[in-house]
Structure formats: C-alpha cells, structure tokens
Amino acid sequence: MFYCYGYTTEGRAAHNEDALLAGEALLTDGEFTAREMKPPFFAAVADGVFSEKSGELASTRCLEMLRDVKFQTKRRLENEIMRIHGELADYNEREEVNMQTTLCALAVDANENIFIVNVGDSRLYRYRYSSLRQLTRDQSLVQILFESGQITAYEKNIHTHKNIILPAMGNKKRTPEPQVDFLGGDIRTGDLFLLCTDGLTDSLTKTDIEDILDRPKSLEARIKELADSALDAGSKDNITVVGLIFS
C-alpha cells in the first residue's frame, strides 16, 4: 500500500510543460490530493523537452497513454514504453512537429511488484532513514561526461549543456533506451519514493532535499516545501514532485 501526494506548477516559467500521473489522475497544474493508492497503478512525472514545440502536449499525451498500460512482466512493460514512444514519434512525423518528453515512473502491478521506468533526466529517489538515494540514472550529456571522468559532480549542475538529454520519448530521429528495472524486495515500511522533474533538482542539492524530507511534517507539507524552496533558490523551470510512502 502507498500513500501518495503530487504537486506541479509552472513556477516562474510562462507555462507548464510538466505533467504528473497518480493512478487515474493526470494533472498539468495544482495538486493531487493525498490518498492511499492500491495496486495496480502508475505514479509518474513527465517534462516536455525545453525548446521543443508542444512540450506540454508531449508530456500530457505520454502520461495519458501510460495510464492505460496493463503489464505483468518487465518485458511487457518495456514493450509498452516503446509503443508509447512510437506513437508520439509517428504523430510528430505526421504533423511535422517535434514534441518530446522525459518520463520517470514508479509502476506497481497487480501482484505488488514494483518497477522503475526512466527516459531522460527526471528522477526517482528513495528516502530512508534520513538518506536520499537516486534510483534512476540521468540519460543526459553531463551524466556521460561525469561517468567518463571529464567533469565533477559539482560541474554537472553548472555545466553549459546540462539540459541536453539523450533521445527522449517521441524523438523521431533516434530511439530512446528506457531504463526499466525491477525494484526487488528491498522495500521497507516508511520508505518514501520521490519522483521529480529537473526544475527541482537543478536548484536543490541532495542535502537540501534530505533536510526538508527529514522534517516532522505531513507528506503534503514537505512536498510543497520542496517546490517552494526550489523557487526561492532561483528555479526558473516548471517544478513537479510526487511523493509515495510505502506502508
């Protein structure tokens, strides 16, 4: 069983290219009222790729299709993610547009098996015992540079090309390589899973996020404080955060 709350805002940007999914609810603005989530369900965030036309349409259409996915195996889930990508890419080809989006999701099947899905640089974290661990790998240019030793962890956050990601959902020229992983049995009561777009993580450090999540407040209050803190720290991007507590 999961207790879930989500929040998305345009922040200081002109409009919101982010979207969030929590079960049947799909939001492009405002909050998903905190409630218990029973399997099967998806919780996900999507971020329309910056500077691409119709980013907000890409993120919304991607999550609309994800909401209807039924799966029982990792292979089926991988195939469904690629099907969604294909439909977005086909639309781009027909309409001569280039709408693309990141996708980061926690997928829970009917048997309560939990999977991670990631394309792009939105993130999934697990917060346990005051420590935050990133469960997804950023699919971005700076991540490749970091892993090859060409830049430091600090330089990742200030690099000129930090917003360049590898092929995203809907890219009609190159096929993405989704990260789809079975989370396994290492899940404990009280674990908090945090899904977020880069409007949050570009402005807050790991320590900043840990400090806020460690406060004795409701899940709703902590998620809102994360978003507000990112804005206070100078974020100019849309901000979307979904929190799920396992019980």
The CATH number that applies at residue 109 is 3.60.40.10
Rounded to two decimals, what is the model's pTM?
Answer: 0.94
Asked if residue 151 is part of any domain, the answer here is no
Asked if residue 157 is part of any domain, the answer here is no
Find the DSSP H helices in the chain. Answer: 55-67, 74-95, 141-147, 153-158, 198-201, 206-213, 219-232
DSSP classification of residue 160: T
Asked if residue 160 is part of any domain, the answer here is no
Task: Tell me the residue ranges of DSSP E strands in 2-122.
Answer: 2-9, 18-22, 25-27, 30-37, 41-47, 103-108, 114-119
- Of 84, 127, 120, nearest to 104 by C-alpha is 120
Asked if residue 143 is part of any domain, the answer here is no
- Of 99, 88, 50, nearest to 66 by C-alpha is 88
- Predicted confidence at residue 238, as pLDDT, reads 97
- Predicted confidence at residue 66, as pLDDT, reads 98
56-101, pLDDT tens digit by residue?
999 999 999 999 999 989 999 999 999 999 999 999 999 988 899 9
**CB 99 within 8 Å of CB 172:** no
213-234, pLDDT tens digit by residue?
999 999 999 999 999 999 999 9
**CB 118 within 8 Å of CB 178:** yes
Range of the domain at 192: 2-135+168-246
- Predicted confidence at residue 49, as pLDDT, reads 86
Asked if residue 146 is part of any domain, the answer here is no
Spatial separation of the C-alpha atoms in residues 167 and 102, rounded to whole Å: 9
Asked if residue 174 is part of any domain, the answer here is yes
Residues sharing a CB contact under 8 Å with residue 239, sequence separation 6 or more, in sequence order:
7, 8, 9, 11, 18, 196, 197, 199, 200, 227, 230, 231
Number of structural domains (the chain) is 1
Asked if residue 29 is part of any domain, the answer here is yes
Which residues in the chain come in under a pLDDT of 70?
50-53, 141, 143-144, 146-147, 153-162
- Predicted confidence at residue 211, as pLDDT, reads 98
Asked if residue 27 is part of any domain, the answer here is yes
Spatial separation of the C-alpha atoms in residues 25 and 241, rounded to whole Å: 14
- CA dihedral over 140, 144, 145, 146, signed as positive or negative: positive
CA torsion, points 224, 225, 228, 230, in degrees to nearest 10? -110
